[in-house]
Structure 1
């Protein structure tokens, strides 16, 4: 009888272990910029050490990152397209949105600058010059935050490179930067990913400083009322930590090659 009880207890422990382990996993969808820059490799180990949780990262464009949240495939999302974020929350898919950090977009391209945009502070004027020059422009083409911003610039410019001069890659930021280098083309990038790829691409920063190139990031928990299976407790723990004094200080301290790439913006 004792042996039978021991077997039942042991079996129940083995059966419950995967369930307990699953509760400690937090699924995060985020942008390729946070992944490519190396920031998450600094932030997440600190959070995991503090909480004992494991964060599983899915790195895609902002549009896809939010879509994963809508489908309940992730617990929390960290993205940078405020209009899409607000819509995500207004439609009831996300809760507890918080500002996390910001940086900026820049226009980069070949050092010889065939479109003569170097030093400009007006991104719309620069886009018009690129379109008129016939020089290639590589677009993310993936409904990411960068892609949404770029499309808005072309719309404001009322012009766009024609035919083969406009390449819609459907790729992440790092891959697009590599393409721009190989094809001697222009592209729009966030400063953080450019910093990680600057040495290998040799692309030059040509336009920066326009207030329309401001690039804020937000973190949002997937609404547990929409998807009962999401790990809301884990999502909330990550949100609370990344917006805490500790998380924000680590964001500010992330300075590969001595340059600060993200600036904390959580209100406390």
Structure 2
């Protein structure tokens, strides 16, 4: 059989088991949640997106690499603590979370975002520079990310598109496109740049420094990435809230697959920024 169709089934097995476990968690969440949450669209969207990551070729680039340094775990831990502390304090003192963010002064939000983002530069104290990571993105990689994102969001929002809640004509409106582009740029700076450098950059680099496999690193970073969202929607409500974290964990897993496919942070930032804009 032609080598182009030879796919290593072992990592696919990891993917299937991981996404299945995520779906099961979301299924039970749908039983506990007060809203009519359907776990199928998000699970299917992520599974299809991962499949596209495997089968769409983007070519090899000699400059593409995954930075490996176990010392990267030290700044990661410090920044991770800063992030969790910030989320806790903002929730407790200002009731600021994903549900209330639209009610806050955008200038105050920008200041908060800049302060949190600045914490990432702790890595320089450990002699780890931003330039140590690969930021390359080719035209093929850019097109690849856009294709994966469009298919992912189409499946995720399929029911809303069919029911007419999402109007395709409104999406193609020039005013909407300009507004979307501006918001995508803002979201690509924060939280996309910050979170990608923290989790797909520092965390994966530190884990790879211990010679762990890509699949092991991806599973670990995805779970840790998901835990940062434990208070993102307000006070955690025990089991129900923990089950809901499966969404962020699976998205983190998808971003990890994208990182190992491209060996670059910029495609992950692009996907993350676009996803947060919708």
TM-score, normalising length: structure 1: 0.23
> Relative to total residues, which structure has the larger helix share, 1 or 2?
2
- Structure with the greater alpha carbon radius of gyration: 1
Q: Which structure has more RCO (C-alpha within 8 Å, separation ≥ 6)?
A: 2
> Relative to total residues, which structure has the larger strand share, 1 or 2?
1
